[in-house]
Structure 1
Amino acid sequence: MPLIAVAIAALAIGFEQLVQWKYGPMGIIAFVMLTVGIKAKNAACGGIGALILVLLLAQSG
């Protein structure tokens, strides 16, 4: 069980670094808002984070 938790944490950190590298500080803010919104079950916070990520993805495409 602890091995799975470590693997998930490593994947999350890796994804966070990828977002920051590709989309800069705004990407990391959006990712944090999305994560906090999901964990806190706050639809507004999660929706704003998701919206910012979608806008960043659309802009780079």
Structure 2
Amino acid sequence: MPFIALLGATFVVGFESLVSWRYGPMGIIGLLLLTIGIKARNPTCSSIGAIVLVLMMTRPAP
């Protein structure tokens, strides 16, 4: 059981750093809103976070 928790935490930290590196502060805000919305079972907050992430991923390459 502790191995699964450690593996999950490693995945989350790695994914967060990838989003931060690739999409910057707005990516972190979108991920934070999505996570808070899912944890709090608030569809508005999670929808806004998902929309921010989708917009960040579909923008044209610089």
TM-score normalised by structure 1 residue count: 0.95
The code of the aligned residue for 2:35 comes to T
For the aligned residue pairs, the C-alpha RMSD in angstroms reads 1.0
Instruction: Indicate the residue corresponding to 1:47 in structure 2.
Output: 47
Distance in 1, Cα, partners of 2:4 & 2:25:
29
Gaps of 5+ in 2: none
Equivalent residues, number:
61
Letter in 1 for 2:13: I
Q: Higher helix proportion, which one? A: 1
The answer to whether structure 1 residue 22 and structure 2 residue 22 are counterparts is yes
Shift of 1:35: 0.5
* 1:5-38 Cα shifts (integer Å, max 9, x gaps): 1100100000000000000000001001101101
Match of 2:33 in 1: 33
Partner Cα separation in structure 1 for residue 4 and residue 60 of structure 2: 33
Runs of 4+ off more than 6 Å: none
- Number of the residue aligned with 2:4: 4
* TM-score (norm. length: structure 2): 0.94
Give the whole-Å Cα distance in 2 for the aligned partners of 1:60 and 1:3.
Answer: 39
| CA–CA separation in structure 1 for the residues paired with 2:60 and 2:53 | 11
Shift of the alpha carbon at 1:2? 1.0
